[in-house]
Structure 1
């Protein structure tokens, strides 16, 4: 969901952030991650998974996750300046639904949500790395 949100709700909707270096940062991180992920899936389906692909999947995230998150957060931060001026996706009272939504505040909440969520996802991948790569090393010992 974060990818759809960042591409559509932030980068597409706030034209001023499209030229930010932070967009390039998260796009590069996402691209490398997906190439590795889908290579792993493809080779796994073929029952021929090279160790370099498995190693890349469970090692490069150590750099790519923080790189992507940094790009995402910097892009959202850059958008914060332009969202209130344009009133982007904001609904103010009074209206017939008696409902209001402040996109600026929502973006701030999204940024704050990275504090508990990013470490949880990163440590999950570290645990997966330990589990998958240590199993591979043990398996190699017996061959």
Structure 2
């Protein structure tokens, strides 16, 4: 049995389980607390750190060619989220509206994405509803997630103004650079997914059976 494929199966199934737990917990605690972000966060913090930091492996997957993901978009998405998880963990003031937005966007996106990958890895036909969600939900979830991330970073700026890089300049300068990078970063991710959506769900595929789409999308 191919060790690489076994590893990818285990990795993706673990991510499906982890993000499903985060998604369910997020919404249950949102209803229980009346969408009170500071009260919701402690219930998902450990799982959020484990499974978001676990996504760092995807950079190595792309570098080594284990998966055909574009390296630039992978680094952009993973790096920004790792920074956000650290901000949420160490700066309690950042757990507000931004967390509500990014928590919803991340968890829904990742459950869909890793479920999609798992079907492909096990050689199973991807159900059309999952295929459609994979290439449609991002239209709303990407802007929602980015909005939440930017709001969270803004909330962290007062703290980072008091921390310097080797006494040279405040870390807040780096945070501002990251915020500004969201403009080209979101454009890159969004246009990539739009092109993939057109390729998979475009008019030329409207009359093709789901099995044909599954073969086409690797």
Q: TM-score, normalised by structure 1?
A: 0.83
Match of 1:50 among 108, 115, 127: 127
| Aligned-pair CA distance for 1:2 | 1.2
Match of 1:13 among 67, 90, 97: 90
CA distance in 2 between counterparts of 1:101 and 1:62 reads 37
CA RMSD of aligned residues (A): 1.9
Contact (CA 8 Å) 1:91, 1:102: kept in 2 or not? no
Cα displacement string for residues 4-52 of structure 1 (whole angstroms, at most 9, x for unaligned residues): 11101x212212112x121121011000000000111122233221000
Match of 1:4 among 63, 82, 87: 82
- Larger Rg: 1 or 2? 1
Q: Which runs of 5+ in 1 are unaligned?
A: 93-99
Q: TM-score, normalised by structure 2?
A: 0.56
CA distance in 2 between counterparts of 1:56 and 1:41 reads 13
Aligned residues: 131
CA distance in 2 between counterparts of 1:12 and 1:103 reads 17
| Aligned-pair CA distance for 1:101 | 4.4
Q: Name 1:34's counterpart in structure 2.
A: 110
Contact (CA 8 Å) 2:136, 2:197: kept in 1 or not? yes
Contact (CA 8 Å) 1:59, 1:129: kept in 2 or not? yes
Q: Name 2:206's counterpart in structure 1.
A: 137
Match of 1:23 among 99, 102, 109: 99
Runs of 4+ with >4 A deviation:
none
Q: Name 1:95's counterpart in structure 2.
A: none
Q: Which runs of 5+ in 2 are unaligned?
A: 1-78, 213-218
CA distance in 1 between counterparts of 2:121 and 2:173 reads 44
